[in-house]
Amino acid sequence: MVKPRRTKILATLGPATDRPGALASLLSAGVDVVRINLSHGVIDDHRRRVEAVREWSAAHRRRVGVLVDLQGPKIRIECFRHSPVELREGDSFVLDAALAADAGTREAVGIAYTGLPDDVVPGDELLLDDGRLVLSVDRVVGSAVHTTVVTGGELSDRKGINRRGGGLSAPALTAKDRRDIVAAVDLEADYLAVSFPRAADDIHEARELLRGAGGDGIGVVAKIERAEAVAAADEIIEAADAIMVARGDLGVEIGDAALPEVQKRLIHQARRGNRAVITATQMMESMIENPIPTRAEVFDVANAVLDGTDAVMLSAETAAGRYPERAVAAMDRVCREAEKNRTVTVSHHRLDECFGRVDETIAMAAMYAANHFAIKALIVMTESGSTAAWMSRISSGLPIYVLTSHPRTRGRVTLYRGVYPLELDPEQEDLGALKGRLLERLARQGLVTRGDYVVVTHGDQLGASGGTNALRIICVDDYLNHGE
């Protein structure tokens, strides 16, 4: 049996995965979490995709998580009468909130974000289409922002707008997002991703809206894609369950040269704060059209793994690309190779800290024991998944198998690095029988063998959340031969 990959792979679903057999091939290639992008498509299509994922998961007894990604504010231009247009350096160009949505010309275009004239002043630089075009603000007259083209090029409909250095005041949650939060609860999502948060309050608001819609157990992912979010990263991380380093808009706002250091810092901050982290955007973008990644893309994915990211994400590569299954297979291959590096299995996480909870202490003690004894795997019996989350912050190279009776917990841990969910029915078996059945299953898969030792954590009473208070090191032989 192939050793399980520790770094998780997120794949965005879309038209390319709707082709006959494409979704099954994608999931079989190793996808751990699917992303539903509410910036595109209609809810009925998204529901059909999620149902297909759940059917595949049930048939293959492998839980695949579901992340629903909110669109966020539309900070973009509107449409041209004859798209695209060519803007040349030195041209005058107007962004006008009062212009009709389809009336754009080479001289002016409408903007979906009507607050732009209030957010900019002369001298500001606006970046369009992921920074490919640069406009310098000359003056603001009513609803119109008059600019001079600094870097020209082809401009087509609905391209994004960023202000260099950040500072646009558009709220993170729009009216559409509020409706889509209700849809995410209806889809029984495992995670909700909030686009363009500026501060922790945006995450708190999203969580309250989830609770109000009946989605109390859904994890909240904060997408770090504004300069302000980088500055407030510690507070946002504390408010969220996970973050996404969304490098598209973020790179435009802070500058592409600053991205590598910021990415590394955000991954470190998230892990230090006991939160999961996803690295996203253009990871293998060339595979939208090509069957193999570039060498630069291989390095990009590998470096994210070495930095400690929980997950790497594919966007258009799987949603609209020609080779979605190959993109997943390539990412799987690169992650596995990077995980052979010793830096991925060595950790000094929280060695000098005191812990405030019994279950947290057990989690840390289990990982310390695993890293200093000949342990082959860890088995975590949990209700909420918190024990597994703490464990997954510590690099070990060892698989962490989570047994839980709660589908939502199984969905939540699909994002955690090195954690694998398994179903538990505490009503039918006692603790010893459960251990034996799991070890027999792992032995059949070649993941443990006779003579191996495993760490098991659990509470005195199965089914009690927050009750993990026991750690045992057991030999596989004792349970393959007989129960406790």
Q: Which residues are tagged catalytic?
A: 35, 76, 223, 281
**In this structure, are residues 269 and 233 in contact, taking their beta carbons and an 8 Å threshold?**
yes
Looking up tokens 């070890």, which residue turns up? 439
Residue 88 to residue 81: CA distance in whole angstroms: 18
| Residue type at position 237 | I
Residue 105 to residue 155: CA distance in whole angstroms: 10
C-beta atoms surrounding 48 within 10 Å? 12
Beta-strand (E) ranges in 231-327? 242-246, 276-280, 311-314
C-beta atoms surrounding 414 within 10 Å? 26
**In this structure, are residues 206 and 194 in contact, taking their beta carbons and an 8 Å threshold?**
yes
Among the listed residues 65, 468, 417, the one whose alpha carbon sits nearest the alpha carbon of residue 271: 417
Query: Running DSSP on this structure, what letter comes out for residue 205?
Result: H
C-beta atoms surrounding 428 within 10 Å? 9
Whole-angstrom distance between the N-terminal and C-terminal Cα of the chain? 27
Task: Tell me the H-state helices in 128-232.
Answer: 175-186, 200-212, 227-231
Q: Tell me the two tokens of residue 108.
A: 């002016």
Residue 227 to residue 337: CA distance in whole angstroms: 33
**In this structure, are residues 338 and 301 in contact, taking their beta carbons and an 8 Å threshold?**
yes
C-beta atoms surrounding 84 within 10 Å? 14
Residue 244 to residue 212: CA distance in whole angstroms: 24
